[in-house]
Amino acid sequence: MVNNMELSKRLNWILEKVDKCETIIDVGTDHGYIPIKLIKDNIASRVIASDINKEPLEKARINASLDGVIEKVDLRLGGGLKTLKSKEVQGIIIAGMGGNLIRDILEHDKRKLPFYKFLILQPAQNPEVLREYLYNNGYEVLEEDLCFDEGIYYELFKVRKNSKENMKLDPIYYEFSPTLLKDKHPLM
């Protein structure tokens, strides 16, 4: 049960960035820990937990049942944002997969993205690929952050899609966040 289980520093860090909302989707939910915690902490009234594989969804179903929140967790089998209707949620979490895959998910369903208040994107690798995509495809970067957990540095992007003009950067700033450098982030 999530209450009795210590979430990783990385998962708690992701949860800190979520704005309170009615409904949110956790893409690639794995064990369902984020959806369970979002419900238990009253950050969201309902969470869609999606995954491309049946096994993680079954684990999420069991965990949500054990934690007593299964009636508020909508489990959906499918990849990326394909399981989501436009305007169905206010926020999106995509964490723990590569920057290339996150970019491809966003690009595939880009027509849906202007309707969401925020997207929390936490690539497990290739954050530079995702940063370049976000900065060059009309995303407003609300926040960038860095976390060190279990010997690995993780980057996080909190963004929203809008019609802002693209921010062309010197290529070095796709590797190293201009925001984190400007803010003198302690992990930089």
Share in percent of the chain as helix, strand, coil (round to 5): 35, 25, 40
Average pLDDT for residues 111-120, to the nearest whole number? Answer: 91
Instruction: Report whether pLDDT(181) > 90.
Output: no
Q: How high is the pLDDT of residue 47?
A: 98
21-52 pLDDT, tens digit per residue, is 999 999 999 999 999 999 999 999 999 999 99
The per-residue pLDDT for 86 is 83
- CB-based burial of residue 53 (10 Å sphere; 0-12 exposed, 13-18 middle, 19+ buried)? exposed
In whole angstroms, how far apart are CA 103 and each of 16, 34, 84, 186?
23, 21, 17, 27
| Phi, psi (deg, nearest 5) at residue 108 | -65, -35
Under a CB-based contact definition with an 8 Å cutoff, are residues 19 and 10 in contact? no
Tokens for 78, please give them. Answer: 């499918």
Q: How confident is the model at residue 182 (pLDDT cuts 50, 70, 90)?
A: confident
How confident is the model at residue 123, as a pLDDT?
97
The CA distance from 187 to 113, in Å, is 30
According to the model, what pLDDT value does residue 50 have? 97
Q: What is the pLDDT of residues 55-106, one digit of tens each?
A: 999 999 999 999 999 999 999 999 999 999 988 999 999 999 999 999 999 9
159 pLDDT higher than 90: yes
Q: Report pTM.
A: 0.90
